[in-house]
Amino acid sequence: MKRSLLITVAAIALLGIGCESQVIPTPNAPVASPTASNAPKNQAIAKVSLIEDKPVFVTPYQSPKSKEIDAQVGMDLYVADTVRTEANGKTQVEFNNGIGFRIGGNAVLQIQPQNRLHLKSGRMITWVKPGLNVPTEIYTNYATASIRGTTAFVEIPKDINQGIRFFSWEGTVVVKLPNQPKEIVLLTGEEIILKPNSSTPPVVRRMDLNEWKEISKTSQLLRSFSSPLPTQKIIDNLVPGQASLDQAPPAIQPNVRDSQENQDNLDRPKDEDDADSDDDDDE
């Protein structure tokens, strides 16, 4: 009897040990979303490197009241901070990983995680330092432009019916439209004008060589800063349709198609808020 009781107790004890040592499966770790950030939220990822003209403002996301303040050269920027220019204001921001952007023309831009820049209005030029391959997205409410070691220009006018402009200053820029599986690829000197209410997709237009040279000399965001763009030398040695310096330029530079429509885009009236600005509607 005692032996039977001891065997029963031992069996129960072994069963208990087995239950305690059983590994309970843990839920799968959440998959990082496109807006997830690997960097701590309190870690600065960029700086205001130039303020060419004022006013320029920053709204620090980490501030308790998120109050807009005047931007200062050398100011640290964090994920979710917003940078805004007004009237003639123009500024340049450089990231620790080699991404940079300039904005102007009543622009509003928010820094998002994982190299995503949300342009809400105004004009911007974005680049990645030569030699680096940092995937970067310029997000708008109408389309998203992806760059890798290239230089892109995006403009959102006050009247969006004028069209949102995507332009490649250098290299390949991929534009993705909402609910459209097909991507639009822009090479150096090519652009699209995206009209949100249009029933037809935008058509890629390539500048001719004369137009390219002229716009390269007069672009405010490209030329009006005290320091040249890090990709300036590359831009100066490319021609429309040439993806990189390693690629031979097109044998024949095509004439401008729809030149009158393009001239209308280049010379279109300034936004009412830009009336006092000397920053023309260019790249």
Mean pLDDT by 10 residues, the chain (283 residues): 44 42 34 43 92 97 83 98 97 98 97 97 97 95 93 96 96 93 95 91 96 95 94 96 91 52 46 48 59
Q: Is 26 helix (H, G, I), strand (E, B) or coil?
A: coil
**What's the total number of domains in the chain?**
1
Q: Is the dihedral of CA 75, 95, 239, 269 positive or negative?
A: negative
* pTM of full prediction above 0.85: no
Note whether residue 158 is domain-resident.
yes
Cross-strand bridge partners of residue 122: 156
Per the rule left: phi > 0, alpha: psi between -120 and 50, beta: everything else, 49 is: alpha
CB atoms within 10 A of CB 165: 21
| CATH number for the domain that contains residue 164 | 2.60.120.1440
Residue 115 lies in a domain: yes
Q: Is residue 16 part of a domain?
A: no
Q: Which domain holds residue 142?
A: 42-247+256-274
Quick one: CA dihedral 136, 173, 103, 133, positive or negative?
positive
